[in-house]
Amino acid sequence: MNVPRVAAIGSVAVFAAAVVAGLALSGSPAEQRRLRLDQQRVFELMELARAAERRWDDERRLPDTVDGLVDGQFLTRLPTDPATREPYEYRATSPRQFEVCATFERPSRPEDAGDFWYHEAGRRCFAFDVTEERD
């Protein structure tokens, strides 16, 4: 074999190994998409929770339905699940407590286990009490 041919084969092998290693470390494009969708779900649940807390701060009441969170200022439209386009779940569980729910495709990373928004795959609800101290 001549030197240029060996160099070309070696370059292709190194490139292929880098691609395989990159996919192994970061996951497939489909896996990355699922992770991004779950991150968007968490962000949008945070928006809903802040809208409910704001409604409590302004009116000393929680909305009965998810539609009641839209105030035209803080929340101008209801966010929907990025995959299903269905609205997220919101439910007032008492006069001062509520929960927001979504269905996640992947579990949170193990290192995030102490985070409030940690979730397993599947349906998960996050409970709030508006009488607790908030930042």
pLDDT recorded at residue 131 = 86
Does residue 20 lie in a domain region? Answer: no
Give the H/E segment covering residue 13: helix 3-26
Helices (H) and strands (E) in the chain, counts: 2, 3
> How far is the C-alpha of 46 from the C-alpha of 120, rounded, in Å?
17
Does residue 19 lie in a domain region? Answer: no
pLDDT recorded at residue 124 = 97
Does residue 3 lie in a domain region? Answer: no
Number of domains, the chain: 1
Bridge-based pairing of strands 122-129 and 89-94 is: unpaired
Whether residue 22 is predicted with pLDDT greater than 60 in this model: the reply is no
Full residue range of the structural domain in which residue 68 is found: 29-129
Does residue 11 lie in a domain region? Answer: no
Does residue 14 lie in a domain region? Answer: no
Does residue 75 lie in a domain region? Answer: yes
Does residue 18 lie in a domain region? Answer: no
pLDDT tens profile 76-97:
999 999 999 999 999 999 999 9
Does residue 12 lie in a domain region? Answer: no
Give the largest CA-CA distance in the chain. 81
pLDDT recorded at residue 112 = 86
